[in-house]
Amino acid sequence: MERDPRVCVMGEDVGHYGGSYKVTKGLATKFGDLRVLDTPIAENSFTGMGIGAAMTGLRPVVEGMNMGFLLLAFNQISNNCGMLHYTSGGQFTIPIVIRGPGGVGRQLGAEHSQRLESYFQSIPGIQMVACSTPYNAKGLMKAAIRSENPVILFEHVLLYNLKERIPDEDYICNLEEAEMVRPGEHVTILTYSRMRYHVMQAAKTLVNKGYDPEVIDIRSLKPFDLYTIGNSVKKTHRVLIVEECMRTGGIGASLIAAITENFNDYLDAPIMCLSSQDVPTPYAGTLEEWTVVQPAQIVAAVEQLCQ
């Protein structure tokens, strides 16, 4: 915001309260109430306002207090945000970032445990990225703000407490590039967001059992980095996808289709996909855990793939 006076933030409680997860803490004091705008509880209205602001030259960052609430703005995100550059014949660009906390938290109930990446992936004209570390959260956010395209940035409610030393100098992360988390030889594990940590926990067990998994955080949910993914598939010949998204119509399903279409000849075994169960996320903690992929399931899936 210091670098570019066109950047502004809007959303519920983003101002003096500092955001529901304190992402915008201190910004209202520093940049004023107009650049850090507290909005009413009306997602369709302030998302539409953000899109209009982007059309007229600003670079708004719109926060959904919880990503599930952005379903109320689905019309604005799909019919306006994604399509206006095309339907205006290129007269308008929509340099907007839509971001917020989502995913399965700790007993937040079904409505507050949404994974909206599956909802938004079919909208033409929109890029989607998911951060998983403090380093890539900052790098992806800065890249998204500077992009001329509308970008949806998915943050996970359980990752806000992560700490990491990040560079003082300016840097950005490529919005269309996956991250190689752990090189390996036996199987390619594709994951993103919070599931990265479940996979890395499983990887320790797998290494002790003699397996050498390659772990890739895909980060870019749309478009996929098929260059990085393809090179890994050509090396390991086996693929396991681990996601928190729903199984039906999720990111994993799209990844399976892309890999099968482009790299089927390199596969020595069918692609496996571990996803959340197709049920509303229960409030009860024990049941909630059962709906989400756990490290033990990842270990069992790799053992099955590498038989």
Is the overall model pTM greater than 0.85, yes or no?
yes
Contacts of residue 42, Cβ cutoff 8 Å, sequence gap at least 6 = none
User: Is position 112 annotated as part of the catalytic site?
Assistant: yes
CB 11 within 8 A of CB 70: no
What per-residue confidence (pLDDT) applies to 124?
Answer: 94
What per-residue confidence (pLDDT) applies to 7?
Answer: 97
What per-residue confidence (pLDDT) applies to 87?
Answer: 95
pLDDT in tens, the chain (307 residues): 999 999 999 999 999 999 989 999 999 999 999 999 999 999 999 999 999 999 999 999 999 999 999 999 999 999 999 999 999 999 999 999 999 999 999 999 998 899 999 999 999 999 999 999 999 999 999 999 999 999 999 999 999 999 999 999 999 999 999 999 999 999 999 999 999 999 999 999 999 999 999 999 999 999 999 999 999 999 999 999 999 999 999 999 999 999 999 999 999 999 999 999 999 999 999 999 999 999 999 999 999 999 8
Residue 35 located in a structural domain: yes
- What own/partner pairs with CB < 8 Å and gap ≥ 24 does 38-43 have? 38/11, 38/12, 38/13, 38/14, 39/10, 39/11, 39/12, 39/14, 40/12, 41/12, 43/69, 43/70, 43/72, 43/73
Residues 188 and 300 in one domain: yes
Residues 12 and 130 in one domain: yes
Choosing from 12, 63, 85, 112, which is the catalytic residue? 112
What per-residue confidence (pLDDT) applies to 307?
Answer: 86
Residues 215 and 151 in one domain: no
What per-residue confidence (pLDDT) applies to 229?
Answer: 98
Please identify, among 89, 122, 156, the residue that sits at the C-terminal boundary of a domain: 156
Identify the CATH number of the domain in which residue 139 sits: 3.40.50.970
Q: Which domain holds residue 278?
A: 179-306
Please give the structure tokens belonging to residue 212: 């050498």
Residue 283 located in a structural domain: yes
Residues 184 and 298 in one domain: yes
User: Is position 237 annotated as part of the catalytic site?
Assistant: no
Counted domains in the chain:
2
Residues 31 and 147 in one domain: yes
Residue 168 located in a structural domain: no
Choosing from 43, 63, 117, 214, which is the catalytic residue? 43
Residues 248 and 185 in one domain: yes
Identify the CATH number of the domain in which residue 296 sits: 3.40.50.920
What is the rounded distance in angstroms from the CA atom of residue 150 to the CA atom of residue 175?
12
